[in-house]
Amino acid sequence: MLIGILKEHKEFEKRVALSPTVAASLIKEGFEITIESGAGDSSYFVNDDYSNAGVKISTDKNAIYQSADIILKVNAPSTEEIQLMKKDAVLISFAWAQTNPDLVEAAAKQGISLCSMDAIPRISRAQKMDALSSQSNLAGYKTVIMGANALGKIFPMLMTAAGTIRPAKVVIMGAGVVGLQAIATANRLGAIVEVSDIRPETKEQIESLGGKFIELDEASDAKTEGGYVKDVSDEFLKKQQALIAKHVSAADLVITTALIFGKKAPLLVTEDMVKNMQNGSVLVDIAVEQGGNCEISEYGKTVVKHGVTIIGEPNLPSLLPLNASELYAKNISAFLLHLTNENAIQWDMNDEITAGALITHQGNIVHPSLKKDLQLN
């Protein structure tokens, strides 16, 4: 089977779906691979790296779409690009199908089998395919480094002949994969770390990494599934806001990471809360791509408001494109090899991983969570 790799064209995107090393391993498994010329440049993989691995280089993007049996991407192609793909081809990428109905419908109409990397179930058998976790780990690290760079003081306590510098205080909202890596990174840099999460079961993980859990007396009404928050009431979010307001006002760096799967990010930091933050403090809003946890963060911009530097950088893994591409390539390769047997795709609908990731197949929307919501025109 022929695998096609295309350049990523989404704003702020520097990753590529396959690294040369992983491409070489797939070729040993019997696949042929063609990559669009320059697709790996932003990840520091040049054409010669791929050629040396046995990958064919093409300057014709349309030809790759039209000939490939399998398309591997980081971000899903446009609906126009999907129309170039041949019937029964397989597309594997992040799809965010719940919030991207046009993509889902286009794939179904074209007869494409669309597999979404963000829909792979979070079970032990699928850990090596978990691209959300691999990319979120990098994002958690990078957000602390960005915040530290923008902050006009150091993180650790420092005792000098001229006096003692107190350690910086970091408040992190959300203890998912991003938040946990941010806790570990900030703690290693010497900061005092406080963490808020609507899931009380995260307390042990937070404390094991050196963070202090900001605990709400009232039990959370958050609904979770597979490790992701699926829903939480507005009333509970308001109570959480009130609790963390005093912690935010005393923080040097605030990092917000809270996301609700398939929905707009919850509002955690209001403009009034920003006004009460210390002059010169920093806020990094990781959720800016889904509407933002901070009321006044701006997508793709770093702004100073009320004396606070607010960083609204989307797609943080792409700021570490070499590592991010290497890890994503291993994730997507593991998933592809899981689907294949003797160089052919095996659609085992009784397999939890296959059924969880498969969005469209043979002209139909097959994912259980979408069949009720989306219908073909």
**Annotated catalytic residue within 67, 122, 199, 205:** 122
**Annotated catalytic residue within 51, 83, 127, 208:** 127
The CA distance from 36 to 38, in Å, is 6
Looking at the predicted structure, is the pLDDT value of residue 298 above 90? yes
Looking at the predicted structure, is the pLDDT value of residue 157 above 90? yes
| For the chain, percent of residues with pLDDT exceeding 70 | 93
**C-alpha angle with apex 204: 198 to 210, nearest 5 degrees?**
105
Active site residue 37: no
Looking at the predicted structure, is the pLDDT value of residue 300 above 70? yes
The CA distance from 248 to 171, in Å, is 7
- Residues 41, 321: contact at Cβ < 8 Å? no
The pLDDT value recorded for residue 376 is 44
Q: How many CB atoms lie within 10 A of CB 80?
A: 8
Active site residue 133: yes
The pLDDT value recorded for residue 377 is 39
- Residues 19, 45: contact at Cβ < 8 Å? yes
Looking at the predicted structure, is the pLDDT value of residue 99 above 60? yes
Closest CA to 183 of 205, 201, 150: 205
The pLDDT value recorded for residue 344 is 87
The pLDDT value recorded for residue 374 is 52
- Span 305-322, pLDDT tens digits: 999 999 999 999 999 999
The CA distance from 22 to 19, in Å, is 5
The CA distance from 243 to 196, in Å, is 9
Domains of the chain as residue ranges with CATH? 2-119+320-363 (3.40.50.720), 139-319 (3.40.50.720)
**Annotated catalytic residue within 19, 98, 113, 133:** 133
Q: Residue range 106-135: average pLDDT? A: 96
**Annotated catalytic residue within 78, 118, 205, 228:** 228
pTM above 0.95, yes or no: no
Active site residue 102: no
Closest CA to 285 of 262, 253, 317: 253
Q: What is the mean pLDDT of the chain?
A: 92
The pLDDT value recorded for residue 198 is 82
Active site residue 130: yes
**Annotated catalytic residue within 93, 98, 130, 290:** 130
Active site residue 122: yes
Q: Residue range 184-194: average pLDDT? A: 97
